[in-house]
Structure 1
Amino acid sequence: MPVAILLTSLVVAAFALGVETLAAVGIVLAVVLAVLVLIARWWVRRSLPPLAKGWVAFFHPFADGGGGGERVLWAAVQALQQMRPDVKVAIYCGGGATPEELCKHVAERFNLQVAPTFRVVPVQSCDRLLPGRYRRFTMAAQAAASVGVAWQGLRQLLPETFIDTTGWAFPYPLARLAGARVAAYVHYPTISTDMLQRVWDRDALYNNSDDVAASPLKSLAKLAYYHCFALLYGAVGAFAQVVMVNSSWTRRHIAELWWQWRKPERVYPPCDTQALQALPLDRRLKRIYLVSVAQFRPEKDHAMQLRALTAARAKAEGMHDAAGDAVLGAHLKLVGSCRNAEDERRIGELKALARELGISDHVEFCVNASFGELRALLGDAVAGLHTMVDEHFGISVVEYMAAGVVPIAHDSAGPREDIVLPEPGPRPGDPAQPTGYRCSSLAQYADAIVEVVGMGQLERMRVAAAARRRATQFSDQRFQREFLACCEDVLPAGRASEPPCNVLR
């Protein structure tokens, strides 16, 4: 969409000025741009240390977080340690944690064994990357902050290969001008055509306030800002030499926005399906409960889950059967990491909402649970809730399916296009089997909760078994093979201890 607007503007300018005049202006602008790039390259290289041969550095300021993005980072580090031991690894991150402390956290949270042989390059002012710091122009302010944080890291270590696993694209030109090769793993586009469409349609959501959505003038101004930002985002994305994305949805948006000749490679994020698949499908069901695994961030929409449980209970009150009794006795366990004071405040608001809805006795908060605790919780859950609109992928949904928990996910993006899809039957010729539920409204979520909780054990096990088969393609091992295959051309010269397989396109 932004590229189309740019091309349309050029065509209009050509008719207004004449093709010859426009060509002359274009040549002058190209020469000026080339001179500016040469000056910027000279200044950047003069200001930074020499290129550190053999080093690969990951840009991930919140490496000690507990989300799916952090799991990608540490699975990639583990892959390099195991298959490219000749490569020296560094991580630009804040928080002041040592390699030993980070490895302990990774083992507890993600069940990944990473050796503390990497170097931590401390970066300051990571809090400037948090959206809560900015009331207006949040994306632009965060983008500028990401360049500042990356500059702090590069001044301490200029690696041969710069790998971004956060999705912040604006430091890419800086790293390329400094002489590093750049690879990107994109979880979620900073801006997407869906976001532009929502502003155009004046739909209120977490990234488009009611105040803006209600005003035509403010919506127009925000739309202009979004288009300008999208153009810049596409331009800086062109500096990445390798582009990986985590889902079909993200791939489509990045292909539309970034100025890349090649289509991004889809590399599904890693999930510990092996450990979760060891859980039995036959639940003991001493107490029926649902789980929700997600960081306590606004876009995860935990409030929708509380309201869905309330609506399901209201529906069950009129059923007068065993299924209705099961729903009325069911609990919801919210499992997620708490990163900062803002997340703590959000948890407090959710607890208040549960009291207001009259379901506080049926809701439990499991904050900063270890992988062992998460595995135990998934081992007896009957259903897993997911309510984020346009979740780029949805590792938690895969975890539900691998553990034999029936997913109830939002009908958009990753869950709709890649994860919660029918699975072929166990024998040739068998009809495709459902692997879960996809919902987009409160009523649909309530109906799905009632159906899954009231489902017979054998029927639920059939759905869970199909979901488990579907989850096998999202493994740690597949991610690591494909990640190394994609990065092979930009990694420091050397030979892998085991040749990576080709990426499944």
Structure 2
Amino acid sequence: MVAPFITLSVGLVVVAIVYYGLVLPLYRGISRRRMGIAKGAITVAFFHPYCNAGGGGERVLWMAVKTLALLHAKLIKSSQRPLHVLIYSGDIGVDPKEILQRAEDQFGVQLRDISMPVTFVDVRGREWLEAARYPILTMVGQSLGSLLLGLVCLFAFPPDVFVDTTGCAFTYPLTALLGRCRIAAYVHYPTISTDMLNLVREQRPSYNNDRAVAGSALRSHVKLIYYRIFAMLYGLCGFFVSLVMTNSSWTQAHIRSLWRLGRQRIWTVFPPCDTSALQVSPRDYKGELTRSLYAVRLAMASVAGRPRPYAVVSGSSKTGRLTKLAPRYDIAFQDLPLRPREPIILSVGQFRPEKDHPLQIRAFARFVKPAGIDGGRGEKGRIKERVKLVLLGSCRGSEDERRVQSLRSLAADMGVGDRVQFVVGAHFSELKEWLGRASVGLHTMWNEHFGICVVEYMAAGLIAVAHNSGGPKADIIVPWKGRSTGFLAATEEEYAHAFARIFAMDELKELTPMRTSARESIERFSDEIFVREWGNLMSPFLGLPVE
């Protein structure tokens, strides 16, 4: 009985010695030569299969790459080991130049002066991460899918440092054990949370808790057991992470409770929000921007603005290097006019189920209907008749496109189809226009991990109305120097009441001071703060001194 056990143990030890001492170093060396990586360079690979999706997570990705580029430049000057960044991308066949150009067009993240090599590693199988593939046991299916995709990434290229910016925790064990990689995780949202457990325990229906399950005590009990087992496995994955960053205090609290086996400290690094500047290209003046007062103010500001190079990507299809092309002008967010504003309620976000766009349409319909909630007397009451709702966002695929069609139908059924406008796949310039025109910024996602769009509303001078949970409640819409910075709501009626109150408020005495307070409060979420904190945490992790 003992002999077979000893034989098995010795065999495993021999396999480990051969694998870690010979096979892995040899394969890593071959992979580095194949990718054209300089000798001695530290390879940092980002696991972000949907790097071209255009959401808030992608903005974090590109700002993180920009931060590493700044570190790389300092390393080169001090003759230390350079960095080489790789992006595991599922956008097969898409030119990296187009991906980086979209990052600038959509997010205003300029990577024009980067000297650090950036290589896109094409990986197939990102569809394994999509919830639509798993009608039952969705979290298990997606987690196993991420595990398989992680293996594909490791086989494509085993890096020195593996950075997960998508929340796929089940990639960590094999990445650490098979790839011998140091792992850093930027967690936007825990895959499972105590709030989700409470949702099932209390049998409350939601986008991730079907009414058929919520309505049955037996099904809810079975699902609760499933959630608890999954939470335990999720916690085990956290043990393999060396550096953990979360995007909000809400996320940090959940990760701390779930990843209890980890010995590492968990840091909160707020995601980068474009609070300092908007870039206006000369081409914008020929488009829709010229037809608004907003455009006039931007044009006036640009006369005194300082031109900066406009960046495009050039180089090989795999490694993008940036060159200068044409002039561009910087317009500070603070230069956006606080007034006058049009009676527009603007919602910015991808058309995903958790964003709860149906709640936005129902709340808007409740507010604008003649028998609905009053918007004030006299002129303030008449403003309600001109208010419209604009839903601006991007679609990741056919499922999201069908969701947009469903939302159009809902608006028509609610009798507000002519007052709800959909702007799908807008460029950064179009987003800037709406941010400069709208009066109210709308957010309805329950337990949003952070809420970049809410910060951008406040920076642009909109009055934010956000869901009374998660990051918006804990970190964003909080009093600033004793003054209110926005509104929180949770139900259809609460949102409608918030709209009514805003459009009944006095512009000079109430709205403008609130917009000013909100704008002042969000400097803690700026790009500069993110670059500093991300850089300070990644520097020792990469063996670099902290400034």
Normalised to the residue count of structure 2, the TM-score between the two structures is 0.80
State whether structure 2 residue 448 is matched by structure 1 residue 451. no
Instruction: Give the whole-Å Cα distance in 2 for the aligned partners of 1:360 and 1:36.
Output: 66
Number of the residue aligned with 2:457: 400
Closer/same/farther in 2, CA of residues 220 and 308 from structure 1, 3 Å limit: same
Preserved contact between residue 146 and residue 168 of structure 2 (Cα < 8 Å): yes
2:227 aligned counterpart, secondary structure: helix
SS in 2 for 1:207: coil
Alignment pair present for 1:50 and 2:24:
no
Cα distance 1:157–1:305, how it changes in 2: closer, same or farther (>3 A)?
A: same
Say if 1:317 and 1:328, in contact at 8 Å, map to a contact too: no
Distance 1:214-1:39 versus aligned 2 partners, 3 A rule: farther
1:112 aligns with 2:109: yes
Contact 2:375 2:500 in 1 (8 A): no
Counterparts of 1:466-505 in structure 2 under 5 Å? 466-491=517-542, 493=543, 499-500=546-547
How has the CA–CA distance of structure 1 residues 63 and 81 changed in structure 2, closer, same or farther, with 3 Å as cutoff?
same
TM-aligned CA deviation for residue 163 of structure 1: 0.4
Which residue, 334, 338, 356 being the options, matches 1:278? Answer: 334
Matched residue, 1:100? 97
Q: Give the distance between the partners of 1:199 and 1:39, measured in 2 at CA.
A: 45
Q: Report if the CA contact (8 A) 2:184-2:243 is conserved.
A: yes
Whether the 8 Å contact between 1:192 and 1:253 is mirrored in structure 2 is yes
Aligned counterpart for 2:491 among listed residues 425, 431, 441 = 441
Between stretches 112-121 and 407-416, larger displacement belongs to: 112-121
Amino acid at match of 1:490: F
Change in Cα spacing, 1:35 to 1:473, as seen in structure 2 (3 Å) is farther
Superposition TM-score, scaled by structure 1 size: 0.86
State the partner residue of 1:239: 240
Q: Distance in 1 between matches of 2:500 and 2:121?
A: 50
1:60 aligns with 2:48: yes
Measured against aligned partners, the alpha-carbon deviations of 1:133-162 in whole angstroms (never above 9, x if no partner) come to: 110011111111111112111112111111
Q: List per-residue Cα deviations over 1:453-484 (Å, max 9, x = no partner).
A: 23222121110000001111101111111112
- Per-residue CA deviation, residues 48-101 of structure 1 (Å, 9 max, x unaligned), is 822655111000000001111111000000111122232100000111223211
Instruction: Answer yes or no: is 1:214 the counterpart of 2:215.
Output: yes
The structure-2 alpha-carbon separation of the partners of 1:215 and 1:486, relative to structure 1 and needing over 3 Å to count, comes to same
For residues 233 and 148 of structure 1, what CA distance do their matches in structure 2 show? 16
CA distance in 1, matches of 2:17, 2:55: 35
Question: In structure 2, the residue corresponding to 1:174 is in which secondary structure?
Answer: helix
With over 3 angstroms needed to count, the CA separation of the structure-2 counterparts of 1:40 and 1:71, relative to structure 1, is farther
CA distance in 2, matches of 1:201, 1:93: 39
Counterpart of 1:376 in structure 2 is 433
Query: What is residue 11 of structure 1 aligned with on the other side?
Result: none
For structure 1, which segment, 307-316 or 59-68, has the greater mean C-alpha deviation from structure 2 after superposition? 307-316
**Letter matched to residue 448 of structure 1:** A
Which residue among 442, 466, 477 is the counterpart of 1:385?
442
Aligned to 1:336: 393
Q: Cα deviation per residue 1:214-264 (whole Å; 9 max; x = unaligned)? A: 112211111111111111100011100000000010000000001223341
Q: Which runs of 5+ in 2 are unaligned?
A: 33-40, 74-81, 279-332
Matches within 5 A, 1:413-428: 413-424=470-481
Alpha-carbon separation, structure 2, partners of 1:370 and 1:317: 35
- Using the alignment, how far apart are the partners of 2:249 and 2:17 within structure 1? 35
Work out whether residues 383 and 453 of structure 1, in 8 Å CA contact, stay in contact via their aligned partners in 2.
no
Amino acid at match of 1:130: E
Deviation of the 1:122 alpha carbon: 0.7
- The answer as to whether partners of 2:465 and 2:495 remain within 8 angstroms in 1 is yes
**Judging changes above 3 Å, is the alpha-carbon distance between structure 1 residues 347 and 192 closer, same or farther for their aligned structure 2 residues?**
same
Aligned position for 1:16: none
Are positions 1:124 and 2:180 aligned together? Answer: no
Q: Which residue of 1 aligns with 2:229?
A: 228
Q: Which AA in structure 2 matches 1:472?
A: E
**2:316 matched residue in structure 1:** none
Please give the alpha-carbon distance, in whole angstroms, between the structure 2 residues aligned to 1:33 and 1:422.
61
Q: Which has the higher contact order (CA 8 A, sep 6+)?
A: 1
Structure 2 Cα separation of the partners of residues 34 and 313 of structure 1 = 75
User: CA 1:35 to 1:360, structure 2 compared with 1: closer, same or farther past 3 Å?
Assistant: farther
1:298 is matched with 353
The equivalent of 1:269 in structure 2 is 271
User: What value does the CA root-mean-square deviation take over the aligned residues?
Assistant: 2.2
Residue pair 2:214, 2:220 contacting (<8 A) in 1 also: yes
- Give the match for residue 14 of structure 1: none
Aligned to 2:58: 70
Give the conservation status (yes or no) of the 8 Å contact 1:422–1:434: yes
Counterpart contact for 2:48–2:89, Cα < 8 Å: yes
> 292-301 vs 260-269, which deviates more?
260-269
Letter in 2 for 1:356: D
1:243 aligned counterpart, secondary structure: strand
Identify if the C-alpha distance between structure 1 residues 480 and 282 changes in structure 2 by more than 3 Å, giving closer, same or farther. Answer: closer
Residues 261 and 281 from structure 1, CA distance in 2 versus in 1: closer, same or farther, beyond 3 angstroms? same
Per the alignment, residue 79 of structure 2 pairs with: none
- Partner secondary structure for residue 62 of structure 1: coil
- Structure 1, residues 95-127: CA drift from partner, whole Å, max 9, x if none? 122321111110111001125831001110111
**1:134 match:** 134
AA in 1 matched with 2:454: V
Q: Taking structure 1 as reference, are residues 319 and 270 closer, same or farther at Cα in structure 2, changes over 3 Å only?
A: closer
Q: 1:329 to 1:167 in 2, by over 3 A?
A: same
- Measured after TM superposition, the shift of residue 294 of structure 1 is 1.0
* Equivalent position to 1:87, from 83, 97, 110: 83
Corresponding letter in the other structure for 2:56:
G
Secondary structure at the counterpart of residue 332 of structure 1: strand
**Count of residue pairs brought into register by the alignment:** 458
- For 2:493, give the aligned amino acid: A
Query: What is the SS of the residue equivalent to 1:273?
Result: coil
Distance verdict in 2 for CA 1:349–1:47, change over 3 Å? farther
2:375, 2:533 → 1: CA distance?
Answer: 51
* 1:334-369 deviation line (CA, Å, top 9, x unaligned): 111111000100000000000001111111111111
Counterpart-to-counterpart distance in 2, 1:417 and 1:41: 49
In 2, Cα distance between equivalents of 1:246 and 1:148 = 26
Q: Which residue of 1 aligns with 2:154?
A: 154
Q: Which is further off, 221-230 or 311-320?
A: 311-320
Deviation for aligned residue 1:39: 5.9
- Per the alignment, residue 255 of structure 2 pairs with 254
Unaligned runs of 5+ in 1: 1-28, 425-431, 501-505
Cα 1:263–1:166, aligned 2, differ >3 Å: closer, same or farther? same
